[in-house]
Structure 1
Amino acid sequence: MNLPQPIETAAAKILVVDDDGFMRMQLRVYLQKEGHRVELATNGEEALTKFAEIKPEVVLLDAVMPVMDGFACCQALMKIYQNPSPLVLMITGLDDEASVDRAFEAGAIDYVTKPIHWAVLRQRVKRLLYQNRLQHQLESVNQMLERLAKVDQLTQLANRRQLELFLDTEWSEAIREQYPFSILLCDIDYFKNYNDHYGHQGGDDCLQQVAKALTRVVHRPKDLAARYGGEEFLIVLPNTDLQGAIHIGEDIQAEITRLAIPHVQSAIADHVTLSIGCASTIPRLGSDWGKLVGAADQYLYEAKAQGRNRLVSGR
């Protein structure tokens, strides 16, 4: 698991919006000394255009300006950019409570008053950047954890938990829409022999190659390839009838044959092969997907009994 890099608060892109030319220059010089990249705008309308062009991390926005004031500009930014919302630090000479409330109601994260106390501005910009980057880092970690909870780490396919959640959702939809639903249950032939001969690292490499082959064949948005357990893989094919599922199963076997993964301990071939059980149905109200998986498992058993390296199907 690759953790996010440590949070840095330097070198942010900052948009300064102020109708006072001297104030703009002061802010630019000060912020550049702090290591930031600074763009300038003279009013709210120009700020909206600049924001769209450069996507700054922080906007220092004067409250009182001609054409479009800071409050209106801030509201417009929040309306246009909602995920994530811009970080707006309002700069105002109006230090009364009503103006402060209005700044926050418009969407500002914080404010400073004129004349600017530079140490205060520095700390507030630094805090905004830190909090924003910390939030992004936490979101990144949460996404990583969510993915880890759904993915088999060896094969990078869906794990058993994600498979069952997917089956629950898609089965219910198939009941509502009354379309066919198919399952392929795949098993690597003589995999124990493979592990015994090539070692567990070799076995892991084999599983990974087979998993990649499955993803090359099973690529429709509605379909799912999952590691079912050990050397077994389960393919869920919503809105696919029996003939369509058989065709996909045959494509999978052809892809595995094309890989030609050596397997000197196989009793049927000199390369890795798959046995596949294929079952299909149109789900009915009150039914559950467990019976269909059980049927695919039975057909897989028959494929093995018939000599392996084959697909056996039925309804």
Structure 2
Amino acid sequence: MTWVELSTRLAHILIVDDEKTLRMMLSHAMQKEGYQVIEAISGEQCLDLCQQQLPDMILLDAILPGIDGFTCCASLRTMFGERCPPVLMITSLNDQESVDWAFNAGAVDYVTKPVHWAVLRQRVRRILQATWAMTELRQTMEHERVLMEQLEIANRELRRLASIDSLTQLANRRCFDEFLHQEWQRLRREQGFLSLILLDIDFFKSYNDTYGHQSGDECLKRVARLIEETIKRPADLAVRYGGEEFAVILPNTPLEGAMHIAREIHAKVELAAIAHAGSRISHHLTLSGGVATIIPSHQSTLEDLIASADEALYRAKLQGRNQIAGQFRIYCSQEKLQASPEPCEPDRCD
């Protein structure tokens, strides 16, 4: 026996008829089929019983005192919507208008009086099987919907994890490459500023040698948090660039604004006063930073921006570390040049 067939055998059927004899005959016929039976003698009682507990099916007489079967059926549909159990109308009316009225009220089928018991049994069985099959289908669809939602959540988490550095929880190098390329293409169309900050912890190898790699990991996490706290705009991206190097991508930001952000990060790290006994320039942890700005064009590449930021970082280290250096290496028009606080190289202007 299938699950649907088993479910129909356990079904609760509400019989609504004011004629005691017919109600008893219907009840006996349904119990003989293995169904559990509830009885009501009026439309009002039917509605009350359904509000307490919905049956699996209703055998409803069309002609009832007070609320007739048609009105009762329509009320059930209004009250319970998709949860409304299937209604089989039992009527002595066999004209087209009454049949249409029954279906318009929400009945799924009807039988006429005098009741043909074999026909009634088959119709009840068919309706219950169809109802339970539909219920099973809805449950399967809902289960699949939930699984799809869970799969989408899992995929989003996998995509997030694929773009996050596991130690610092900043974006990783892969995310850096994708985001920088995306912003390069966009700002090349818009002819907007794109700035990049590269930051390096001074003498970090000595820090690991002095305090151990576990402390070194905690130090990297703390610096990452300080960088993230400084980045205010959702459009900006903080990245663990590699090892003890960090990067910040700042779309629509001229060199002046990028230098301000870099110096703010530098100041926060200084204020944190993280002990660094292995440093050759301070008793506390320090950063060196390089900042570069470019207006993307067809004559330049994003590698130019990275190289410029790297050159600025190298210059900061040559000048004694624990400082920020910046440069505006850009293929630009004179009009754009005037918007920047730093001059570009004359031989690289259009």
TM-score, length of structure 1 as denominator length: 0.65
- Out of 169, 175, 190, the position equivalent to 2:203 is 190
Q: Does 1:134 align with 2:147?
A: yes
Gaps of 5+ in 2: 1-45, 58-74, 88-105, 110-124, 329-350
Alignment of 1:73-84 (within 5 A): none
Cα RMSD (Å): 3.3
3-state SS of paired residue (1:27): coil
3-state SS of paired residue (1:235): strand
Residues 203 and 63 of structure 1, relative CA distance in 2, 3 Å threshold = farther
TM-fit CA distance, 1:116: 6.3
Partner of 2:214: 201
Residues 92 and 173 of structure 1, relative CA distance in 2, 3 Å threshold = farther
Partner of 2:54: 27
Residues 63 and 207 of structure 1, relative CA distance in 2, 3 Å threshold = farther
Partner of 1:266: 279
Please say which of residues 115-124 and 282-291 is displaced more in the overlay. Answer: 115-124
Higher Cα Rg: structure 1 or 2? 2
TM-fit CA distance, 1:119: 6.4
Q: Does 1:210 align with 2:223?
A: yes
Q: Does 1:93 align with 2:120?
A: no
Partner of 1:71: none
Cα pair 1:253 1:273 within 8 Å, conserved: yes
One-letter code aligned to 2:205: K
Distance in 1 (CA, whole Å) between partners of 2:303 and 2:293 is 12
- Out of 220, 232, 239, the position equivalent to 2:245 is 232
One-letter code aligned to 1:265: G
Gaps of 5+ in 1: 1-19, 31-40, 48-58, 65-90, 95-111
TM-fit CA distance, 1:170: 0.7
Deviations 1:105-162 (A, max 9, x none): xxxxxxx974467865774565344323322221221111111111111111111111
Partner of 1:73: none
Distance in 2 (CA, whole Å) between partners of 1:172 and 1:142 is 26
Cα pair 1:93 1:113 within 8 Å, conserved: no
Deviations 1:224-261 (A, max 9, x none): 11111111111111111111111111110111112221
Cα pair 1:180 1:239 within 8 Å, conserved: yes
Distance in 2 (CA, whole Å) between partners of 1:92 and 1:126 is 23
Residues 44 and 197 of structure 1, relative CA distance in 2, 3 Å threshold = farther
Deviations 1:19-73 (A, max 9, x none): x83556543899xxxxxxxxxx9556996xxxxxxxxxxx646799xxxxxxxxx
Cα pair 1:228 1:234 within 8 Å, conserved: yes
TM-fit CA distance, 1:273: 1.0
Aligned residues: 234
3-state SS of paired residue (1:209): helix
Cα pair 1:277 1:312 within 8 Å, conserved: yes
Q: Does 1:280 align with 2:307?
A: no
3-state SS of paired residue (1:216): helix
Residues 270 and 140 of structure 1, relative CA distance in 2, 3 Å threshold = same
Residues 222 and 92 of structure 1, relative CA distance in 2, 3 Å threshold = farther
TM-fit CA distance, 1:294: 0.6
Distance in 1 (CA, whole Å) between partners of 2:129 and 2:278 is 78
One-letter code aligned to 1:133: V
Please say which of residues 262-271 and 120-129 is displaced more in the overlay. Answer: 120-129
Cα pair 2:54 2:85 within 8 Å, conserved: no
Distance in 1 (CA, whole Å) between partners of 2:129 and 2:51 is 12
Distance in 2 (CA, whole Å) between partners of 1:204 and 1:225 is 17
Residues 309 and 122 of structure 1, relative CA distance in 2, 3 Å threshold = same
- Out of 163, 167, 173, the position equivalent to 1:150 is 163
Distance in 2 (CA, whole Å) between partners of 1:204 and 1:138 is 33
Cα pair 1:280 1:314 within 8 Å, conserved: yes
Residues 28 and 219 of structure 1, relative CA distance in 2, 3 Å threshold = farther
3-state SS of paired residue (1:155): coil
Q: Which has the higher contact order (CA 8 A, sep 6+)?
A: 1
One-letter code aligned to 1:211: A
